[in-house]
Amino acid sequence: MSERVPDPALHGSVRGPRAEAPVARATSRRRVTCLDLDRPTGIGGALELSGRAWDFEIDADRFPSVRETAALRAAVDYHRGRVLTGLETTPAVPELAGLVGESAISGFRGRLGAVVAGGAVRRDTPLVLLLDDVPLGTLISGHAVSAANELDPQSVTASTGYVPVGDQCAGYAERGALIATIGVRGRSPVADGPVAPRIDDAFGRLPGPLAPHSMRRSRRIDRWVADGAVHIDAMFRDTYGRADGVETVIHEYQLAVVADAETGVIREAVATPRVLPWFDCPGAVASAGRLVGMAVAEVEARVRREFRGVDTCTHLNDLLRSIADWPVSDGQVPVPGR
């Protein structure tokens, strides 16, 4: 089935997802994560999250070896407060049990940060990157609820309960196309993105097809050192499984960063949007350049604190923050002052 024709005045024209993962560079690292967001009992039922992650080391002959893996399974009572009702991780971290019974969105990262600060798990592990995606993954899963209703008229769904706030990001600019459309329709329209190319981790691990009304958040972060600089190439993609079995891309961004190998200070940072849902979303692209002059180790905290408003994007901010999660103990991405 072909892609539905978008309204360019509302959805814009950024609709070119990458067709495949790039070949991993010799003597580099690659981190890959995949978080699926399913509702096996129906769109009005509980949300189930299943994630997996791999850290690869690629040698001089481009042969990959697995350095570290992680996995999680979680359950969220989405329609009654977005409460996290269950969580299992590999490796097991008993201290994470304190997250259960609390919101999977509001305050989740702060509570996770307290577990990290207590030494139960390192911030730079693939498990923490998976856990860090739980709040936004839970939030974006609301797209499936809305889309099931609009794109499948036979579906009976519960409301997401989400009330859009103007000027919270570029796509929701108060005077932008999306907010104006909401004012006319009395409800938010549903983004229907381009068909998703099947993309793997370039080492033969290809995720399975999405169930109808399920979503997936995929990440890839490559890192290598050349000419006295640390190079990072990162991307994320959010996809949705339509009722007709077609997987579509809702968001996709790529990020290229160059940092000084001695100080960790970022020299270059360029974001490339590949799929954006709303006409005004490109207004956030230039915000990636604000990383220049920051140390890699500062990025996570400063993006959370400083990147707000109509010249930013929640999804792009998460991509920017993800580059700070790389291990610093191997000497490839130094901590300032060492």
**277-308, pLDDT tens digit by residue?**
999 999 999 999 999 999 999 999 999 999 99
The answer to whether residue 336 sits within a structural domain is no
Q: Which has more confidence, 336 or 146?
A: 146
pLDDT at 86: 98
Q: Which has more confidence, 87 or 325?
A: 87
φ and ψ at 271, to 5 degrees?
-100, 140
pLDDT at 151: 55
The answer to whether residue 225 sits within a structural domain is yes
User: Is the confidence at residue 161, as pLDDT, over 80?
Assistant: no
β-strands 64-77, 28-38: how paired? Answer: unpaired
Instruction: Convert the pLDDT of each residue in 115-136 to its tens digit.
Output: 999 999 999 999 999 999 999 9
> What average pLDDT does the chain have?
89
Q: What's the rounded Cα separation, in Å, for the pair 261 and 178?
A: 42
The answer to whether residue 237 sits within a structural domain is yes
Element (H, E) at 136: helix 134-140
Two tokens, residue 320: 């920017």
User: Is the confidence at residue 265, as pLDDT, over 80?
Assistant: yes
| Total number of domains in the chain | 1
Look at 70-79, 137-146, 151-160 and tell me which has the smallest mean pLDDT. 151-160
The answer to whether residue 287 sits within a structural domain is yes
Tell which residue, 83, 136, 72, has the closest CA to residue 109: 136
The answer to whether residue 253 sits within a structural domain is yes
The answer to whether residue 338 sits within a structural domain is no
Q: What's the rounded Cα separation, in Å, for the pair 134 and 7?
A: 31
Instruction: Convert the pLDDT of each residue in 207-229 to its tens digit.
Output: 888 999 999 999 999 999 999 99
Q: Which has more confidence, 122 or 338?
A: 122
Q: What's the rounded Cα separation, in Å, for the pair 132 and 112?
A: 8
The answer to whether residue 337 sits within a structural domain is no
Instruction: Convert the pLDDT of each residue in 97-116 to its tens digit.
Output: 999 999 999 999 999 999 99
pLDDT at 3: 55
Q: Which domain holds residue 293?
A: 9-156+165-325
User: Is the confidence at residue 331, as pLDDT, over 50?
Assistant: no
User: Is the confidence at residue 163, as pLDDT, over 70?
Assistant: no
Local confidence band at 169 (pLDDT 50, 70, 90 cut-offs): very high
Entry pTM: 0.91
